[in-house]
């Protein structure tokens, strides 16, 4: 039997590019879909005839009944949320059975991680899922006689001992942070119940994926959180706490890199970002960033914005209003948190940077149907960022610091717009000419073949180009 191979799919922007829906389309070509980073901070949405389902910790291949869903050691897991996600998926009519495998080396998000993230994650605007503190404890390993990094396999081997260790860590945080309203007994009760469901999925064989690939299986790695949020290569500190880059699939995904075949990048035609941090092409700049972050905790921006006059905002000279209108029309509100996403122009420089840094071989671009909204703007054109001006010079990369990023002046080019419903179009040649011109321009600028074009939100609303 010939050996299998693995492909890696990542988001090329700041997240929420529609990775899950691409996986839902190409998933049939693979035997295994595997996660390698992050945890419940991810929100991967799939629209189906029965309604929408949002996956947080489980890989997006759930609708392929024979596909194995693997959660790698590089992930951090919330057991209670995972147990609920499993039940929700089964209630949706999807059988997981033996298909779900969870690495015994994946670390557990403990309750004190969530409490600490709630206190320390405000400036970054984290999802408050305890991601940063969980990865920090993984790196710290041990503090005196307190064991900090507790993994799925540890609990499986000795549930009582490691649950005690989790409780000790919790009590330590409750004491140091002077938290008095946490019900530890209730937590232990719920945790035991959740783990009783989850433990059947833990994979003890640390060479599981390697053996599958040796036996001819095809694996697709599903990145979470996207390249621009990488803990090392993103704009620190406004990043997540894991490595999101394509190469890290072969660390947190538990497979040797010798099986790598190609890297797939996902982008969307109108960019977005949640949380704080620089965003060169943002409509309304700093004002938009502050406005979106004000919603922290209230989560009512969507309701407020749905009452505004969208047509007037689209036609406004004020880019902040244009951004608000595009957010509403594109339903850019967090799948995990409901937070408003900051919205910006498609940025060719940022995308080229992602393509080069990750070695992207093929690109998919979602939400191209939303570009028709620009016909209702004052200039009736689609703005895209084509150059970065920094001081008196030009740069062709995203700088590593917050301060320098905020000094960049984007050079904007206005592309011809198009109108009409494109969601039923099935071939690239039949797309409106201004759209194909824009996409071919993008392909040339970023130096990577464009393979898929999202023309609507439904599962089959994609135009695929032959290779
Ligand atoms: P954390 O990953 O919860 O620590 O959050 C760190 C930053 O990454 C914040 O700006 C979050 O909004 C952002 N982030 C985390 N997960 C996602 C995601 O799945 N999509 C988009 N942004 C995310």
pLDDT digits (tens, 9 = 90+) for 411-437: 999 999 999 999 999 999 999 999 999
Interatomic CA distance for residues 78 and 57, integer angstroms: 8
Distances (CA, A) of 322 to 272, 372, 411, 447: 14, 14, 18, 30
The answer to whether the Cα torsion of 293, 294, 299, 301 is positive or negative is negative
Structure tokens at 163: 């649950």
Radius of gyration of the chain (CA): 22
Specify the pLDDT at position 460. Answer: 86
* Backbone φ, ψ for residue 430 (5° rounding): -90, -5
- What tens digit of pLDDT does each residue of 230-252 get? 999 999 999 999 999 999 999 99
Atom 23 in ligand 1: residue holding the nearest Cα: 225
Please say if 298 is a catalytic residue. Answer: no
Structure tokens at 37: 């980073």
Are 274 and 11 in contact by the 8 Å Cβ rule? The answer is: no
- Asked whether 280 lines ligand 1 (CB < 6 A), one says no
Reply yes or no on whether the pLDDT at 366 is more than 80: yes
pLDDT bracket for residue 297 (50, 70, 90)? low
Distance 29 CA to ligand 1 centre (A): 29
Specify the pLDDT at position 1. Answer: 64
- Asked whether 432 lines ligand 1 (CB < 6 A), one says no
Reply yes or no on whether the pLDDT at 274 is more than 70: yes
* Closest atom of ligand 1 to CA, residue 129: 3
Specify the pLDDT at position 139. Answer: 98
- Asked whether 275 lines ligand 1 (CB < 6 A), one says yes
* Closest atom of ligand 1 to CA, residue 117: 4
Please say if 113 is a catalytic residue. Answer: no
Q: Show the CA angle centred on residue 458, arms to residues 455 and 460, nearest 5°.
A: 75
pLDDT bracket for residue 389 (50, 70, 90)? very high
Reply yes or no on whether the pLDDT at 336 is more than 70: no
- Asked whether 127 lines ligand 1 (CB < 6 A), one says yes
Set 16, 24, 31, 117: catalytic member: 16
Interatomic CA distance for residues 228 and 273, integer angstroms: 10
Distance 408 CA to ligand 1 centre (A): 23
pLDDT bracket for residue 372 (50, 70, 90)? very high
Among 41, 228, 282, the mutation site with the greatest number of ligand 1 atoms within 8 A of its Cβ is 41
Alpha helices in 10-158 (DSSP H): 19-26, 79-91, 111-120, 131-140, 152-157
Reply yes or no on whether the pLDDT at 298 is more than 60: no
- What tens digit of pLDDT does each residue of 197-212 get? 999 999 999 999 999 9
Mean pLDDT, residues 283-296: 88
Reply yes or no on whether the pLDDT at 167 is more than 70: yes
Name the maximum alpha-carbon separation found in the chain: 66
- Asked whether 37 lines ligand 1 (CB < 6 A), one says no
* Closest atom of ligand 1 to CA, residue 277: 10
Q: Which residue has the higher pLDDT, 294 or 41?
A: 41
Strand-strand pairing, 462-464 and 449-454: antiparallel
Specify the pLDDT at position 301. Answer: 84
Among 242, 274, 335, the mutation site with the greatest number of ligand 1 atoms within 8 A of its Cβ is 274
Contacts of residue 196, defined as CB under 8 A and 6 or more positions apart, other chains included, come to: none
Per the prediction, the chain carries an average pLDDT of 95
- What tens digit of pLDDT does each residue of 181-197 get? 999 999 999 999 999 99
Reply yes or no on whether the pLDDT at 289 is more than 90: yes
Specify the pLDDT at position 299. Answer: 67
Interatomic CA distance for residues 160 and 384, integer angstroms: 56
Set 24, 44, 113, 369: catalytic member: 44
Neighbours of 391 (CB within 10 A): 10
pLDDT bracket for residue 49 (50, 70, 90)? confident
* Closest atom of ligand 1 to CA, residue 339: 12
Distance 158 CA to ligand 1 centre (A): 32
């Amino acid at each position: 039997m010939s050996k299998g191979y693995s492909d890696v799919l990542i988001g090329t922007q700041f997240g929420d590019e529609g990775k899950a829906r691409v996986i839902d389309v190409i998933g049939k070509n693979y035997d295994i879909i595997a996660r390698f980073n992050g945890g419940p901070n991810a929100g991967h949405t799939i629209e189906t005839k029965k309604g929408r389902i949002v996956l947080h910790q489980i890989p997006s291949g759930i609708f392929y009944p024979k596909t194995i869903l693997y959660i790698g050691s590089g992930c951090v897991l919330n057991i209670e949320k995972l147990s609920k996600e499993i039940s929700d998926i089964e209630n949706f009519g999807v059988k997981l059975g033996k298909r779900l495998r969870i690495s015994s080396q994946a670390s557990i998000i403990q309750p004190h991680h969530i409490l600490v993230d709630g206190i320390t994650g405000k400036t970054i605007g984290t999802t408050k899922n305890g991601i940063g503190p969980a990865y920090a404890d993984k790196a710290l390993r041990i503090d005196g006689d307190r064991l900090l990094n507790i993994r799925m396999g540890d609990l499986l081997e000795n549930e009582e001992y490691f649950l005690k260790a989790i409780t000790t860590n919790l009590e330590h945080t409750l004491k140091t942070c002077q938290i008095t309203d946490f019900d530890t007994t209730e937590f232990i009760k719920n945790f035991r119940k959740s783990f009783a469901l989850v433990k059947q999925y833990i994979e003890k064989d640390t060479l599981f994926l390697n053996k599958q690939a040796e036996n001819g299986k095809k694996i697709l790695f599903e990145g979470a959180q996207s390249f621009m949020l990488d803990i090392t290569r993103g704009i620190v500190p406004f990043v997540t706490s894991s490595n999101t880059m394509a190469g890290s699939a072969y660390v947190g995904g538990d497979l040797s890199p010798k099986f790598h075949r190609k890297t797939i990048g996902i982008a969307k035609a109108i960019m977005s970002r949640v949380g704080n941090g620089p965003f060169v092409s943002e409509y309304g700049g700093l004002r938009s960033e502050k406005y979106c972050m004000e919603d922290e905790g209230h989560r009512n921006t969507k309701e407020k914005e749905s009452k505004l006059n969208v047509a007037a905002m689209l036609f406004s000279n004020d880019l902040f209003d244009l951004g608000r209108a595009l957010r509403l029309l594109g339903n850019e509100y967090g799948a995990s948190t409901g937070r408003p996403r900051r919205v910006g122009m498609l940025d060719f420089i940022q995308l080229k940077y992602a393509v080069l840094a990750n070695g992207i071989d093929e690109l998919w671009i979602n939400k191209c149907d939303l570009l028709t909204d620009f016909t209702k703007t004052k200039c009736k054109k689609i703005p895209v960022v084509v150059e970065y001006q920094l001081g008196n010079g030009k740069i062709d990369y995203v700088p590593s610091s917050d301060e320098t990023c905020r000094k960049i002046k984007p050079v904007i080019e206005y592309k011809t717009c198009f109108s009409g419903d494109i969601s039923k179009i099935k071939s690239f040649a039949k797309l409106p000419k201004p759209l194909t011109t824009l996409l071919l321009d993008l392909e040339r600028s970023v130096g990577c073949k464009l393979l898929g074009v999202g023309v609507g939100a439904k599962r089959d609303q994609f135009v695929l180009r032959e290779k």
